[in-house]
Amino acid sequence: MQRKVIVVGGGLAGLSGAVRLARMGFRVQLFEKNERTGGKMNALALRGEKGEYRFGTGPSLLTMPFVFDELFDFAGVERSSVLDFVPVEPICRYFYPDGTRLNTYADKTRMMHELHAVISPQEARNYEAFLDYTKQIYDLTAEIFLFTPFQELRKLLHLRHIPTLLRLPRIDPMRSVHAAVSAYFRDPRLIQLFDRYPTYNGSNPFEAPATLNIIPWVEYGFGGFYVRGGMYRLAEEITRLAEQLGVEIKAGCAVEKILHDGKRVRGVQVDGEKFDADYVLCNADVVEAHNTLIDGFASRQKRLNSLEPSLSGMVMYWGMKRTFPELQHHNIIFSSDYKREFDQIFTQKVAPDEPTVYISISSKTDAAHAPEGGENWFVLLNMPYLNGQNWQREKDRMKSSVLKRLAAVGIDAESAIDCEHTHTPQDLYDLYRSNKGSIYGISSNTQMAAFMRPANRSRDLRGLYFCGGSSHPGGGVPLVVLSGKMAAELIQEDAQ
């Protein structure tokens, strides 16, 4: 008889798991509380005087394209036939308080030439050594920590992993990201640049282990990409793939409870109605799931709530009625005191006085995303998770801060705003039920937290599995897709 899996949540991880499970022969039913699948990767349209502006609401850069190629290939579809991944070069333009403007490239020759010309010849050589170091961490950790559910001891101790396990001290877990970066570079501008990469999984570079220096390699070694038509096209096509394979998707249906008998899951409850299942794959935030969906495991709930959430964010969507040739597709305007910014976010848990500003402008690559002569600005600021802040007040303060920061580097943005909308950490919680409004689940601000995200298989209930940014292997578009893959494969193994 065909086994049934219910997927709770239609983020990229849940969709990835659903596609694989359907292809494996399971009957799959997916419930998504919002009106569209995609989770944080979604879409927004605003209308101003000049016309319509289109925005992606979540991830704005794609890395590790082979992860998505493999997913589509597993489902019997050539990814390039439905999605066009466009390399973005330069990957990003950085603006510093001292007036420096620096472009970064995946092309190593161009990157070293840029560093040679803008920073110094010595720092260009240091970059080459740093890149080799980040590649070494990737080569040592990827198979175990990114592609294997290593909390499953039988998988971790597989013969092919033994040589890697013996070399684990070389992944640099004992010093912080900042300490490691500072050992390679002398120029504070480059230290600040490479210190920012732990924010990709919501962590503090001054506390997170240097193993997270794997992240620059993922960007510079494999390149950064944009999905033609908008990043949400990826979620749309994986959704379409799931439906073609027979996945029953019920959007606008919030799961109220994951049902169980104390030992094994039995299904879910939606709008008071019970839906039976042999397995449940939970794409909801693991902490939030134990707080609201899974009853009866107080000790597990307490332990999960003791873990530090990742940082959150404030996103300002600005339709701009003119173009800004000084900006690229991706841009960073750095703060003058990076450590103070992170102290305010993680220790004081307040919106920083001088936030680093990230601006993504997809209309630089996709002209249809803004009216002619205009641009669509996705403006992201790192923020603390929910802790009693007044976000309505902070929203106005942060807008003023961003405009001031832009003016300081010679960009008059205020006079160009045609329309706008803002998402605060509270909005992120309301939309996606992420733990305290965090974007990436659990932070990696300790050595153990970096390697011990909640497992893909429940330790309390048979038949319950987890995927998504709050579970192994962590946040980020390729990692959540891998999370769905690992959970689906564990379900398949258990069903045999």
pLDDT at residue 160, as a whole number: 61
pLDDT at residue 143, as a whole number: 76
- Domain contains 417: no
- Domain contains 144: yes
8 A C-beta contact, residue 185 and residue 194: yes
Question: Of 220, 239, 264, at which residue does a domain stop?
Answer: 220
- Domain contains 257: yes
Exposed e or buried b per residue across 314-353, where buried means at least 16 C-beta atoms within 10 angstroms of its C-beta:
bbbbbbbbebbeebbbbbbbbbeebeebbebbbeeeebbe
Determine which helix (DSSP H) or strand (DSSP E) holds 459, and give its type and residue range: none
pLDDT band at 277 (very low <50, low <70, confident <90, very high): very high
* 235 and 289 fall within a common domain: yes
**How is residue 408 written in tokens?**
């300081």
For the ranges 150-164, 182-196, 227-241, 289-303, which has the lowest average pLDDT?
A: 150-164
- Domain contains 77: no
Mean per-residue pLDDT for 259-285? 98
Mean per-residue pLDDT for 123-142? 94
Question: Of 220, 245, 277, at which residue does a domain stop?
Answer: 220
* 23 and 123 fall within a common domain: no
* 115 and 215 fall within a common domain: yes
**How is residue 318 written in tokens?**
């600005």
* 213 and 239 fall within a common domain: no
Mean per-residue pLDDT for 454-483? 94
pLDDT at residue 152, as a whole number: 64
Mean per-residue pLDDT for 58-67? 96
* 184 and 235 fall within a common domain: no
Q: 179 lies in which domain range?
A: 109-220
* 124 and 198 fall within a common domain: yes
Instruction: Give the separation between CA 302 and CA 295, rounded to whole angstroms.
Output: 12
Mean per-residue pLDDT for 187-208? 96
- Domain contains 271: yes
* 184 and 115 fall within a common domain: yes
* 452 and 483 fall within a common domain: yes
For the ranges 90-94, 143-147, 269-273, 444-448, which has the lowest average pLDDT?
A: 143-147
The answer to whether residue 194 scores a pLDDT higher than 60 is yes
The answer to whether residue 226 scores a pLDDT higher than 60 is yes
pLDDT band at 444 (very low <50, low <70, confident <90, very high): confident
* 152 and 204 fall within a common domain: yes
Mean per-residue pLDDT for 353-371? 97
Question: Of 188, 220, 252, at which residue does a domain stop?
Answer: 220
Q: Model-level pTM?
A: 0.95
How many domains are there within the chain? 2
pLDDT at residue 142, as a whole number: 79
Instruction: Provide the residue count of the chain.
Output: 496
The answer to whether residue 446 scores a pLDDT higher than 90 is no
In the chain, % of residues over pLDDT 70: 95
DSSP state of 27: E
233 CB burial (10 A radius; 0-12, 13-18, 19+): middle
* 258 and 278 fall within a common domain: yes
Instruction: Give the separation between CA 88 and CA 219, rounded to whole angstroms.
Output: 11
Integer-rounded Cα Rg, in Å, for the chain is 22
* 245 and 213 fall within a common domain: no
- Find out whether the peptide bond into 90 is cis, omega within 30 degrees of 0: yes
- Domain contains 460: yes
For the ranges 51-60, 160-169, 444-453, which has the lowest average pLDDT?
A: 160-169
Instruction: Give the separation between CA 200 and CA 198, rounded to whole angstroms.
Output: 5
Instruction: For residue 264, list its beta bridge partners.
Output: 462
pLDDT at residue 382, as a whole number: 98
Mean per-residue pLDDT for 187-192? 98
In degrees, rounded to 5, the angle at the alpha carbon of residue 56 between the alpha carbons of residues 54 and 58 is 160
Instruction: Tell me the CATH number at 24.
Output: 3.50.50.60
pLDDT band at 154 (very low <50, low <70, confident <90, very high): low
pLDDT at residue 163, as a whole number: 66
Mean per-residue pLDDT for 167-195? 92
pLDDT at residue 173, as a whole number: 86
The answer to whether residue 364 scores a pLDDT higher than 70 is yes
Cβ-Cβ contacts under 8 Å for 368 (sequence gap 6 or more):
54
Instruction: Give the separation between CA 315 and CA 445, rounded to whole angstroms.
Output: 23
- Domain contains 213: yes
pLDDT band at 150 (very low <50, low <70, confident <90, very high): low
Between 450 and 138, where is the model more confident? Answer: 138
Tell me the per-residue pLDDT of 389-436, one tens digit each, with 9 for 90 and over: 999 999 999 999 999 999 999 999 999 999 999 999 999 999 999 999
Closest C-alpha among 449, 402, 427 to residue 202: 449
- Domain contains 418: no
* 215 and 235 fall within a common domain: no
